[in-house]
């Protein structure tokens, strides 16, 4: 199976509207070095943190002679304020709406054919329970080809 999450990250990093706001996009988790806990006096986030995290919330729906994975995927966008988190999330959602049959490098030297994404209507606003960073989360159904592209085979 291809590494569609890393390919999705690379796709978002190729979108100007997204990278104008942030180049910090991670798969599964924010690296420990990027994680800044809230100020102990105010409880508010310290510094500027526009970060997106791509999570697999579903997975392949089965192979039944179909080479296309349709996976539920969440993208969580963090910002310095609630407004900035939503602004960043809107840029990511617009980029995902524009995704249409592109071959994108994955994380292991191969490539993934991303067919498109179905975008859920509306994001959920929240606060991260550990960092207290404002965030906006939206779910997508991402369609990606499971076949090998470019001579290598990636795994999730």
HEC string of the chain?
Answer: CCCHHHHHHHHHHCCHHHHCCCCCEEECCCCHHHCCCCCCCCCCCCCCCCEEEEEECCCCCCCCCCCEEEEEEEEEEECCCHHHHHHHHHHHHHHHHHCEEEEEECCCCCEEEEEEEEECCCCEEEECCCCCCEEEEEEEEEEEECCCECCECCCC
List the chain domain ranges.
4-145
135 against 152, higher pLDDT? 135
CA 35/CA 137 separation, integer angstroms: 18
Which residues have CB under 8 Å from 137's CB, separation 6+?
A: 74, 75, 76, 77, 89, 123, 124, 126
- Whole-number pLDDT of residue 124: 94
Share of the chain above pLDDT 70, in %: 82
Per-residue pLDDT reduced to its tens digit, 11-57: 999 999 999 999 899 999 888 777 777 677 776 666 656 888 888 87
Class in CATH terms, 4-145: alpha beta
Mean pLDDT of 124-129: 90
- Whole-number pLDDT of residue 152: 46
- Note the pTM of the prediction, 2 decimals: 0.83
Q: Angle at Cα 15 formed by Cα 118 and Cα 103, nearest 5°? A: 65
Per-residue pLDDT reduced to its tens digit, 81-108: 899 999 999 999 999 999 999 999 987 8
């Amino acid at each position: 199976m291809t590494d569609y999450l890393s390919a999705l990250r690379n796709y978002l990093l190729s979108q100007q509207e997204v990278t104008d706001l942030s180049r910090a996009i991670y798969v599964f988790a924010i690296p420990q070095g990027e994680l800044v806990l809230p100020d102990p006096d105010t409880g508010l986030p310290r510094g500027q943190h526009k970060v997106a995290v791509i999570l697999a919330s579903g997975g392949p729906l089965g192979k039944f002679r179909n080479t296309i994975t349709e996976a539920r995927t969440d993208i969580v966008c963090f910002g310095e304020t609630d407004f900035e988190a939503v602004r960043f999330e809107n840029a990511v959602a617009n980029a995902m709406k524009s995704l249409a049959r592109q071959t994108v490098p994955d994380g292991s030297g191969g490539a993934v054919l991303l067919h498109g994404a179905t975008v859920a209507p509306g994001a959920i606003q929240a606060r991260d329970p550990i960092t207290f960073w404002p965030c906006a989360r939206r779910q997508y159904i991402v369609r990606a080809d499971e076949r090998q592209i470019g001579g290598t085979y990636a795994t999730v």
